[in-house]
């Protein structure tokens, strides 16, 4: 009985491998076609990026849609900003903060401050979404900021979420 089961298992395995070998190339062609079609209008994950002291964090996605002539685009940035500072405000606790800058198509070196988000609430996150048009690069910097302050502190470095040069 055991021998019969072993033989049946070998036959089933051989048949499955033969089927996979037969359908493999067709599946690969389909996957390559889908990948090529989506590369122009793709969604990429970014982050997690942190403040210099690791008490604020952000991550998310960036989606770029180009027009048919590849002359204009729309960029959607989605994400979450996490406040990881569990100290009370009286003991020096700060809020999470993120700044986004964009570089326009055809701009020569000028970055524009686009969006800023602040979240106060240790152990929780704030979701955000924004759109921008005709952009060839997006970057972000995660910092901390005081509850009533206008000046961010403990900033991490600029991180590039999107660059048209990478496409």
Cα gap 140→99, rounded to integer Å = 6
What separation in angstroms does the CA of 16 have from each of 6, 10, 103? 15, 10, 52
C-alpha torsion 43→48→49→54, nearest 10: 170
**Partners of 100 in beta bridges:** 115, 140
The radius of gyration of the chain from alpha carbons, rounded to an integer in Å, stands at: 24
d(CA 100, CA 49): 13
**What proportion of the chain, given as a percentage, has pLDDT over 70?**
75
Positions in the chain whose pLDDT score sits under 70: 1-41
- Cα separation, 30 vs 28, in Å, equals 5
Longest C-alpha distance within the chain, in Å? Answer: 78
pTM (two decimals): 0.74
- Residue 1 to residue 84: CA distance in whole angstroms: 61
Task: Tell me if residue 165 falls in helix, strand or coil.
Answer: helix
């Amino acid at each position: 009985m055991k021998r019969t089961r072993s033989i049946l298992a070998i036959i089933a395995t051989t048949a499955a491998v033969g089927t996979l070998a037969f359908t493999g190339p067709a599946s690969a062609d389909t996957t390559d076609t889908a990948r090529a079609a989506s590369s122009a209008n793709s969604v990429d994950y970014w982050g997690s990026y942190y403040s210099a002291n690791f008490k604020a964090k952000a991550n998310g996605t960036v989606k770029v849609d180009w027009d048919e002539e590849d002359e204009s685009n729309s960029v959607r940035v989605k994400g979450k900003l996490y406040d990881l500072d569990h100290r009370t405000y009286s003991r020096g606790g700060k809020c999470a903060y993120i700044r986004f800058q964009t570089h326009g198509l055809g701009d020569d070196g000028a970055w524009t401050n686009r969006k800023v988000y602040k979240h106060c609430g240790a152990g929780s996150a704030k979701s955000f979404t924004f759109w921008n048009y005709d952009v060839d690069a997006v970057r972000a910097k995660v910092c901390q900021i005081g509850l009533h302050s206008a000046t961010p502190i403990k900033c991490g470095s600029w991180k590039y979420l999107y660059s048209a040069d990478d496409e």
